[in-house]
Structure 1
Amino acid sequence: MKNENSRNTIIFIVCSALILGIYYFTVLRPQAERRAMQQRAHAEQSQSADNAARTALSPQAPTFVTNRAQALSSAARVPIQSGTLKGSLSLQGGRIDDLFLTDYREVQDKPAPVELFRPQGMQNAYFAQFGWTGPNVPGGVPGPNTVWRLTNGATLTPATPVTLTWDNGQGLRFTRVVSVDDKYVFSVQDTVQNLGTQAITIAPYGSVQRLGVPQAAGSSHIVHEGAIGTFGKPGEYRTVQKKYKDWLKEPRIENASTGGWLGVTDKYWLAALLPPQNEAVETEFRVRENGGAQQLEANVLGATRTVQPGGTATETQRLFAGVKRAEVLKSYEQSLNLPRFVYAIDWGMFWFLTRPIFWVLENVYGLVGSFGVAILALTVIVKLIMFPLANNAYASMSKMRNLQPKMEEIKKKFKDDPQKQQQETMALYQREKINPVAGCLPLVLQIPVFYALYKVLTVTIEMRHQPFLGFIHDLSARDPSSIWNLFGLIPWDPAAAPLIGGLLAGPLHLGLLAIAYGLTMWLQTAMNPPAADPVQRQIFQFMPLVFTFIMAPFAAGLLVYWAWSNILTILQQYVIMHRYKAENPIDAFFARFKKSPA
């Protein structure tokens, strides 16, 4: 019996450690890092102010304008307007640096669209630029400060490209035609015409640049944010990722590639350079110092070419600037022959589960029109797949529950001989054809599914801002209801409570879904056979309360999945326990309401 108790303890520890590990890496650690980032930012601001007060001769931090209109007014611009994008292109440098995604909102209940690119002059400027590079070119090539002339078109739309020109005054004429499709891809066709008397050697380049990392970016361990790209050659492409914090520590990462793509990704949004897929290119992720700030760059350099007098050279590059929606990325992957472009979405190490789960959710959503209902349907599908294994497990558990009196007899009979207890108990299991570890196996197998679903709800834009059950406005966010204001019946914000507001809105926050999860977990635990060891029994009884608080901060969609999964498990266990005439807490509960015979 002692060995059996030890084995049960090990099983319990393994199951608990897996769930606690997920909780630590997806909730506690990101929260700690966000607090650390805020403290560092506050310390840096205080240090900067202190330095400025001590001496005016010390190096000054860069100054930024806070008014977007002021930043946009520094150069003439060409408006951008498509079905999914709006913004403008700067004639200074020919940069695409002012861009909003019109189909998405920063905050669900506010009309402001998601900002992707931000012009120079503002904090965390973010933009893409293209051009030529070449040493010793007479008159030079157009650079970041070159002012182009608009020679054709007025507004960049899917139907109306615009043409920019610049003459370097020494025989070189540069022409740029910028177009945009009805989704998220810009095409930049650069042409250089050599009207001089000397041959020139130049190479095309593209660059996505971000000045510093926004405070909210890169704080989650489960979502990749930072540098991303796919490099290699046909049949041998690989995807490279560097989170912002790791990128800042490695100032230059180079890769040679035939085609491929690279860029900067946030949780839902991506800016990626798409070079010609049949061309050998040099790529780099780079960090430079720019006016006291760190400038992160994703750069691509095309093949060098020589342009003879009277000749021309043309290069067409593309820029994806938009949302990481699976079907959109897949369509570009196919139409532009982009390798592994759908892996711009961080499917994670369980991609073989994450992608099928997403496929099921997306297709069921298309049928029912609700992602919440799709999650319920997915839970049923998972249960059906695991039904044979779970059925055997719950049958074994019901038999073990019926064997409790016999096991107690063995324990009393051989109370001074633990080895004999173990032998007799195992012989009893063999006679009754019971697997004592079968009960934990379905839980262990569901943990990768749980993690994969968490990944899907966290990284896929399709789940963002999806409502369910009226009070849930976003299945990818935590349950907004709270027990501390009776789920909204009391007009009071628990976060505003003096001294304990942070606790009530943080670690002690309990929504309706978390409570439903805790209750179903408690009932499921009560239906399992009790542990032989009293200490283990008390621990198992206490765990539903612990995991209720652990699960409370998770996405509402996850709690919907887990609570509904518990309900289906309870129903399955109840049917099996009735089949084997095993005592169960549901029948015991209703028996209390029956009248005693006279």
Structure 2
Amino acid sequence: MDTKRFIVAVLLSAMVLVGFEYFMPKQTHQEVAQQVAQTSRQTPPSDAARPAAPVAGVSSQPVSVPSPQAETRLEIDAPAVRGSIDLLGARLDDMVLRDYHETVAAGSPLVRILEAAHDPQPNYVEIGWMNLAGGQVRVPDANTVWSADAPKLAADHPVTLSWDNGEGVTFQIVVGIDAHYMFAIEQRIVNHSAQPVSLYPFARVSRAYTPEETGGYLVHEGPISVIDGRLDESSYKSLRTGATPPGNTSWTKAGQGGWAGITDKYWLTAVVPQQGAPVTGSYGYQANGGAGVYQVGFIAQVPTVVGAGATASTTSHVFAGAKEVSLLEQYQSSLHIPDFWKAVDFGWFAFMTRPIFYVLDWLNTLLGNFGLALMAFTLLVKALFFPLATRQFRSMAKMRKLQPKVQDLRERYKGDQMALNQQMMALYKTEGVNPASGCLPMLVQIPVFWSLYKDLYITIEMRHAPFFGWIHDLSAPDLTNLFTLFGLIPWDPAGLSPYLQLGVWPILFGVTMFLQQKLNPAPMDPAQQRVFQVMPVLFTFFMARQPAGLVIYYCWNNLLTMAQQMVIQRRTQGATSQAVPAPAAAKRK
């Protein structure tokens, strides 16, 4: 191998590592928990946190805000969630997930996915109606006090919210919830007046704070929608800078059905209109006196027309919960929600990341532990690439045998690089050696590495998935630290620099990488030898900041590679010794 090219390759690898650290999400030595607060719901709403004009409907008229008064709430008690609906405005604005905690620590609070307008991180869903242009029908708003026909909303026990506008029109919202995270909504208009009523039903998700985006460039967090089969992902910044009148919208799209909402790394709040119905989806932002409100929603393109003495209704759904892959696909099938699985950001290479996730998930169901599933997956990958690895090691053996001839050519054509390259290519051709064949297995496994990293980072199934011993979360870095003597010294060096966090598994990875190098003969060039000596140290510190599951995968992969290499080398040496006849015994004098 030419020394200059080798050094260039190493420099390029270092640049890749630096770029990886820059573009990928920065993981600290502690998991970035969801910033939620368990505050009292009797706090008066502040002006800064009050909701602004609606995006759905593209209206420029300011929405009414709740008046300071005691709240009346409808309790939500379902298998997967608990919370309440504010009957002042009929807002779904209080919900926690029963099966998910903020951290792996004992007693950690449940993840809160919805919060009221006067809470620190407002995130809520609104259902309502809008008038036609110039319409005068009195419709419910944020100050409307609804009545409920039951004290509690439970799975398979829907509750009807009602409000009479005093003009002969009764509005009803029938709310149901399943055993997971899907609400079924029926918006009903009962017209007792003598005049027909025409209104546009809408649904929207509002978020009155800008969350910390922890996903970097690896996962999308923010407004998301699928309309007419097209996925659209926007950033919070694009909503702030692109919002224009009327309605302060930054994006609209008309289509048939679909879904839209605001996504976080693991959680999703989305509204789902009646599939097949013509709707307009929109993203918007209201700079509401310093505390802006992001809004994502749908409004019907065709108004609901209710004749005198008649009743009409429209149906929709609201999802508020964890982005469990199997559950999203189940809803996609049962409710015909198009591409609902895309709420999980498998990325451009979803054709690889999804199948690999399915394999890992299947192995987890068999073995009962995602760490063991990763190890079993490594065995499958090794078996799949075994022919390539065999070819790689055989090629390496041939290259070692050619090193004296290669060195002779370098000495002979020391001042003529072009002639040297020609002679080396001729030598490789004569001996039947492909110098690039040794790199092929590594190149082929790069997509597997990337897909595995992506799955570990984005899927909630991997979140807080334990292994054995001190690893309680495979999606987070190993939290043990050599620089504290693994807990004996009471200080946190990672606070000074993230590179002062070096756990047990990254160290084991470095050791296995070093041992793997020892199985191969040292390069003849001194510069290459120095680079090879540094590489295990460099990669050890790099892997220290990666998910523990990825480090475990590579440790196990290195051990299997060493075992595989020793087996293939023994077979190759055995075949060579059989092919070479033994020298004749020396004659005795």
> Which interval holds the TM-score relative to the shorter structure?
0.7 to 0.9
**CA displacement at 1:514 relative to structure 2:** 0.7
Q: Which amino acid aligns with 2:376?
A: A
Question: 2:48 maps to which residue?
Answer: 62
Question: 1:98 maps to which residue?
Answer: 94
Q: Deviations over 1:348-373 (max 9, x none)?
A: 12211111110111001111111001
Is the CA contact (8 Å cut-off) linking 1:123 and 1:211 kept in structure 2?
no
Q: Deviations over 1:265-298 (max 9, x none)?
A: 1111111101000201001011112232110011
- Give yes or no for the alignment of 1:220 onto 2:212: no
Q: 1:188 aligns to what SS in structure 2?
A: strand
Q: Distance in 2 between matches of 1:84 and 1:63?
A: 28
Q: Distance in 1 between matches of 2:520 and 2:47?
A: 63
Is the CA contact (8 Å cut-off) linking 1:273 and 1:318 kept in structure 2?
yes
Two-structure CA RMSD over aligned residues (Å): 2.6
Is the CA contact (8 Å cut-off) linking 2:155 and 2:177 kept in structure 1?
yes
Inter-CA distance 406–261: structure 2 relative to 1 (3 Å threshold): same
Q: Distance in 2 between matches of 1:577 and 1:143?
A: 76
Is the CA contact (8 Å cut-off) linking 1:185 and 1:321 kept in structure 2?
yes
Moved more, 219-228 or 508-517: 219-228
Inter-CA distance 17–243: structure 2 relative to 1 (3 Å threshold): same
Is the CA contact (8 Å cut-off) linking 1:530 and 1:537 kept in structure 2?
yes
Is the CA contact (8 Å cut-off) linking 2:124 and 2:207 kept in structure 1?
yes
Q: 1:182 aligns to what SS in structure 2?
A: coil
Inter-CA distance 182–501: structure 2 relative to 1 (3 Å threshold): closer
- Give yes or no for the alignment of 1:164 onto 2:161: yes
**CA displacement at 1:418 relative to structure 2:** 4.0
Give 1:559's match in structure 2, choosing from 539, 542, 551.
551
**CA displacement at 1:83 relative to structure 2:** 0.3
Q: 1:403 aligns to what SS in structure 2?
A: helix
Q: Distance in 2 between matches of 1:15 and 1:571?
A: 26
Question: 1:537 maps to which residue?
Answer: 529
Q: Distance in 1 between matches of 2:430 and 2:95?
A: 71
**CA displacement at 1:210 relative to structure 2:** 0.4
Q: Distance in 2 between matches of 1:104 and 1:565?
A: 31
Q: Distance in 1 between matches of 2:474 and 2:420?
A: 50
Is the CA contact (8 Å cut-off) linking 1:82 and 1:158 kept in structure 2?
yes
Question: 1:277 maps to which residue?
Answer: 275
Is the CA contact (8 Å cut-off) linking 2:3 and 2:527 kept in structure 1?
no
Inter-CA distance 330–247: structure 2 relative to 1 (3 Å threshold): same
Give 1:195's match in structure 2, choosing from 192, 197, 216.
192
Q: Distance in 2 between matches of 1:245 and 1:543?
A: 39
Question: 2:382 maps to which residue?
Answer: 383
Q: Which amino acid aligns with 1:90?
A: D
- Give yes or no for the alignment of 1:442 onto 2:441: yes
Q: Distance in 2 between matches of 1:372 and 1:566?
A: 16
**CA displacement at 1:454 relative to structure 2:** 0.9
Q: 1:494 aligns to what SS in structure 2?
A: coil
Inter-CA distance 340–6: structure 2 relative to 1 (3 Å threshold): same
Q: Deviations over 1:103-162 (max 9, x none)?
A: 111122224211000011112211001011104444510112211122x11100013221
Question: 2:303 maps to which residue?
Answer: 304
Q: Deviations over 1:236-293 (max 9, x none)?
A: x111111333333332111111010010111111111010002010010111122321
- Give yes or no for the alignment of 1:176 onto 2:173: yes
Inter-CA distance 329–126: structure 2 relative to 1 (3 Å threshold): same
Q: Which amino acid aligns with 1:263?
A: G
Q: Distance in 2 between matches of 1:418 and 1:342?
A: 55
Question: 1:260 maps to which residue?
Answer: 258
Inter-CA distance 120–346: structure 2 relative to 1 (3 Å threshold): same
Q: Which amino acid aligns with 1:553?
A: R
Q: Which amino acid aligns with 1:100?
A: V
- Give yes or no for the alignment of 1:116 onto 2:119: no
Q: Which amino acid aligns with 2:144?
A: T
Inter-CA distance 171–72: structure 2 relative to 1 (3 Å threshold): closer
Q: Distance in 2 between matches of 1:447 and 1:20?
A: 17
**CA displacement at 1:20 relative to structure 2:** 4.0
**CA displacement at 1:223 relative to structure 2:** 1.6
**CA displacement at 1:413 relative to structure 2:** 4.0
Q: Distance in 2 between matches of 1:128 and 1:560?
A: 41
Question: 1:146 maps to which residue?
Answer: 144
Inter-CA distance 185–195: structure 2 relative to 1 (3 Å threshold): same
Inter-CA distance 438–530: structure 2 relative to 1 (3 Å threshold): farther
Q: 2:546 aligns to what SS in structure 1?
A: coil
- Give yes or no for the alignment of 1:332 onto 2:345: no
Question: 2:499 maps to which residue?
Answer: 507
Q: Distance in 2 between matches of 1:448 and 1:322?
A: 30
Q: Which amino acid aligns with 1:198?
A: Q
Q: Distance in 1 between matches of 2:172 and 2:412?
A: 95
Give 1:85's match in structure 2, choosing from 63, 66, 81.
81
Q: 2:24 aligns to what SS in structure 1?
A: helix
Question: 1:290 maps to which residue?
Answer: 288
Q: Deviations over 1:470-508 (max 9, x none)?
A: 1101000000111123334x2x3431xxxx55236x212
Q: 1:355 aligns to what SS in structure 2?
A: helix
Correspondence list, 1:469-480, <5 A = 469-480=468-479
Structure 1 length-normalised TM: 0.84
Is the CA contact (8 Å cut-off) linking 1:208 and 1:264 kept in structure 2?
yes
Is the CA contact (8 Å cut-off) linking 1:324 and 1:344 kept in structure 2?
yes
**CA displacement at 1:339 relative to structure 2:** 0.6
Inter-CA distance 485–382: structure 2 relative to 1 (3 Å threshold): same
Q: Which amino acid aligns with 1:207?
A: R
Q: Which amino acid aligns with 1:537?
A: Q
Is the CA contact (8 Å cut-off) linking 1:164 and 1:177 kept in structure 2?
yes
Q: Distance in 2 between matches of 1:15 and 1:198?
A: 74
**CA displacement at 1:550 relative to structure 2:** 1.3
- Give yes or no for the alignment of 1:185 onto 2:171: no
Q: Distance in 2 between matches of 1:437 and 1:12?
A: 16
Correspondence list, 1:324-363, <5 A = 324-363=323-362
Give 1:107's match in structure 2, choosing from 92, 103, 110.
103
**CA displacement at 1:377 relative to structure 2:** 0.9
More helix by share: 1
Inter-CA distance 11–528: structure 2 relative to 1 (3 Å threshold): farther
Correspondence list, 1:29-68, <5 A = 62=48
Tell me the number of residue pairs that the alignment of Structure 1 and Structure 2 aligns: 535
Q: 2:48 aligns to what SS in structure 1?
A: coil
Q: Which amino acid aligns with 2:481?
A: S
Structure 2 length-normalised TM: 0.85
Question: 1:49 maps to which residue?
Answer: none
**CA displacement at 1:220 relative to structure 2:** 2.4
Give 2:238's match in structure 1, choosing from 240, 246, 251.
246
Q: Distance in 2 between matches of 1:418 and 1:319?
A: 68
Inter-CA distance 227–16: structure 2 relative to 1 (3 Å threshold): same
Q: Distance in 2 between matches of 1:561 and 1:316?
A: 47
Q: Which amino acid aligns with 1:123?
A: P
Q: Distance in 2 between matches of 1:13 and 1:484?
A: 28
Give 1:523's match in structure 2, choosing from 489, 510, 515.
515
Q: Which amino acid aligns with 1:464?
A: R
Inter-CA distance 309–61: structure 2 relative to 1 (3 Å threshold): closer
Q: Distance in 2 between matches of 1:431 and 1:384?
A: 31
Is the CA contact (8 Å cut-off) linking 1:394 and 1:439 kept in structure 2?
yes
Question: 1:585 maps to which residue?
Answer: none
Is the CA contact (8 Å cut-off) linking 1:218 and 1:244 kept in structure 2?
no
Q: 2:320 aligns to what SS in structure 1?
A: strand
Q: 1:201 aligns to what SS in structure 2?
A: strand
Inter-CA distance 72–387: structure 2 relative to 1 (3 Å threshold): farther
Q: Distance in 2 between matches of 1:5 and 1:431?
A: 23
Q: Which runs of 5+ in 1 are unaligned?
A: 39-59, 65-70, 583-598
Question: 1:133 maps to which residue?
Answer: 130
Q: Distance in 1 between matches of 2:166 and 2:304?
A: 21
Is the CA contact (8 Å cut-off) linking 1:139 and 1:169 kept in structure 2?
no
